[in-house]
Amino acid sequence: MSRSGECFSVARLLMDWQFSIARRIVGSSMGRAYTRVHRLMRLISAINSKRGLDAADLARLCEVHVRTVYRDLETLNASGVPCSFDTESRGYRVRPGFFMPPVELTFEEAMAMVALLEQIGDGEQIPFLGAASRAVEKIRS
């Protein structure tokens, strides 16, 4: 075997060994946390996109038990996402106005905003300078 092949094999063995140790340390809890975060995002998306989804509907959608949906809804509320049961639609919803609607700017509008925000921001003429610079970064990305 060539020297470069040996280096590759040693590097591969080292990487496999590190992965197996990390898997033993973390265990399966990392997979559960990853799944839960995605499930919470899926719940928010489903509740926002379709009216009248009750806990049973959300449980079927996420392939979990209804009790898990109740716990997830409690978690969302505790984290500041106001989810509640709407008796009129007989389903869960996020309080209207909690999420801002997406802003669709043309390319020219976005560039005009960037130019204006940079000009104003350079002179420190606005109290929300940090927020303005984050907005510029979002527009640029």
Which pLDDT tens digit goes with each residue over 66-86? 999 999 999 999 999 999 998
pLDDT, residue 104, reads 78
Domain of 69, in residue numbers: 3-94
Question: Do 86 and 29 share a domain, yes or no?
Answer: yes
Ranking 45-54, 69-78, 126-135 by mean pLDDT, the lowest is: 126-135
Measured distance CA(127)–CA(129) in Å, rounded: 6
- Say what the pLDDT of residue 22 is: 47
* Crossing angle (nearest 10°) for helices 66-78 and 55-62: 100
With respect to residue 100, please indicate whether it lies within any of the assigned structural domains: no
Total domain count, the chain: 2
Q: Do 112 and 49 share a structural domain?
A: no
Query: Looking at the predicted structure, is the pLDDT value of residue 1 above 60?
Result: no
HEC-encoded secondary structure of 124-136: CCCCCHHHHHHHH
Q: Is residue 65 part of a domain?
A: yes
pLDDT confidence of residue 12: 55
Whether 110 shows a pLDDT value over 70: the answer reads yes
